[in-house]
Structure 1
Amino acid sequence: MSNKKLTGKVALVTGGSRGLGAAIAKRLAQDGADVALTYTSSPQKADEVVLAIETAGGRALAIHADSANAEAVKNAVTETVKTFGRLDILVNNAGIATLATIDEFSLDDFDRIIAVNIKGVFVATQEAVRHIGEGGRIIMIGSVNSDIMPFAGGSVYALTKGAIASFTRGLARDLGPRGITVNNIQPGPVDTDMNPAEGSFADTMRSMIALQRYGRSEEVADMVSYLASAEAGFVTGASLKIDGGFAA
């Protein structure tokens, strides 16, 4: 019998084909969970994550689902349950960042970021809790920018991540009686292809970080691993920064 802490559990990670999502999917699989992951535009990268998990002895499934498309998100939950027989852990990781000052932010861009960062999270969560039972976990990937926005152009992004922090607190009350915890991880600057740790912008950001370095995707995945486990059974409604002291 496996002694991995998530053996027998099934997880769905939205936006799991690259960056934080890929690291989270691999870590949950390493912990013993069967993992489904959604992707929008990177089928090859999604397949690479699945292959890495399967090569290590795990089970994984890639599902094409744009998080802005409510029906696609619902179908991803359905397909996860159909394939693996249950759902225990939802990681709402999919998100986009569009940066522009308020007078330059287009309505189309506003609608898109709201659709992905807020509506997509709502739909995935609503559908998932139809299947998640006692001991289940819902984990949001928010942002430290819900609490601190040290540069111009990030107001709408911060708006969406602030909504996730508030949603987390309300959901914890809704789902607590069912034994389901809900928590929000708020990363600071993390080295991904969307936010590389090299370049002039990165140098500026690094100067604001107490530890003077960008985080690694695997470090965020470590925190997800903890919150997904039985060890975190008394943690709910929390927004937990992992930012190297960016907001200190």
Structure 2
Amino acid sequence: MVAAIAAAGGQAVAAGGDVADADEMTALFDAAERAFGGVDVVVNTAGIMLLAPLAEMALDDVDRTLRVNVRGTFVVSQPAARRLRPGGALINFSPSVTRLQQPTYAAYAASKGAVEAMTLILARELRGRDVTVNAVAPGPTATPLFLDGKSQKVIDRIAGAAPLGRLGTPEDIAETVAFLAGPGGRWTNGQILCANGGIA
């Protein structure tokens, strides 16, 4: 990806880390500031989706889900809140499934409900900073996270539930993120923006 961006005339660096590790995320922000002089947009997409009926789900899986989805969002949001420059944007992710009450999604939906709460509160805590904080709530989207472990019959049924009759694409979601990150999204703040084709 870095090479593709450079080939197109852009500038990019790659840095990794555990989203739930505060030291590693601080280092990530440091790397961005060294390369670009500051941080203007943070898109916080890391997440895992472990599914099982609530009564049967292993507590280790619950802990893993909360560590990545809740603690990870919190850990990334802290330096974002401190270091985003005026005019900046923090964009979290919380799926539309939090509104659907689907069996087996209890831990995942609960973790993402926490992401929504953090998003709405942080937007208000950053009053006066000229930094927007929103969440994108995709519906079913044709990504490996969604498709993994599902039969084609199940995928087709879910796609058919949307009024538009299809799954979302990564490009659909990227356009929503680009809106929130760009000048057109500056008056959108403290919102959960559903990009789900009308499924919920």
> Which bin holds the TM-score, normalised by the shorter protein?
over 0.9
Residue equivalent to 2:7: 55
SS in 2 for 1:215: coil
Structure 1 segments, 4+ long, off by >6 Å, are none
Task: Kindly indicate whether residue 107 of structure 2 is the aligned counterpart of residue 153 of structure 1.
Answer: no
Cα drift, residue 182 of structure 1 = 0.6
Residue equivalent to 2:167: 214
- Name the CA distance, whole Å, in 2 between partners of 1:57 and 1:50: 11
RMSD: 1.5
SS in 2 for 1:184: strand
Task: Kindly indicate whether residue 17 of structure 2 is the aligned counterpart of residue 89 of structure 1.
Answer: no
- Which of 155, 177, 181 is residue 224 of structure 1 equivalent to? 177
Deviations 1:143-172 (A, max 9, x none): 10122233x210110001111111111011
Unaligned runs of 5+ in 1: 1-48
Cα drift, residue 198 of structure 1 = 7.0
Q: Return the letter of the residue paired with 1:206.
A: A
- Which of 110, 134, 140 is residue 86 of structure 2 equivalent to? 134
Unaligned runs of 5+ in 2: none
Task: Kindly indicate whether residue 187 of structure 2 is the aligned counterpart of residue 234 of structure 1.
Answer: yes
Residues paired across the two proteins, number: 198
Cα drift, residue 181 of structure 1 = 0.6
Cα drift, residue 123 of structure 1 = 1.0
- Name the CA distance, whole Å, in 1 between partners of 2:26 and 2:55: 35
TM-score normalised over the length of structure 1: 0.76
- Name the CA distance, whole Å, in 1 between partners of 2:188 and 2:76: 21
SS in 1 for 2:84: coil
Is contact 2:21-2:75 (8 Å) kept? no
Cα drift, residue 176 of structure 1 = 2.6
Which protein is richer in helix relative to its size? 2
Could you tell me the percent identity over the aligned residues?
35
Residue equivalent to 1:185: 136
TM-score normalised over the length of structure 2: 0.93
Is contact 2:119-2:133 (8 Å) kept? yes
- How do 1:115-126 residues align onto structure 2 when only pairs under 5 Å count? 115-126=67-78
Task: Kindly indicate whether residue 54 of structure 2 is the aligned counterpart of residue 102 of structure 1.
Answer: yes
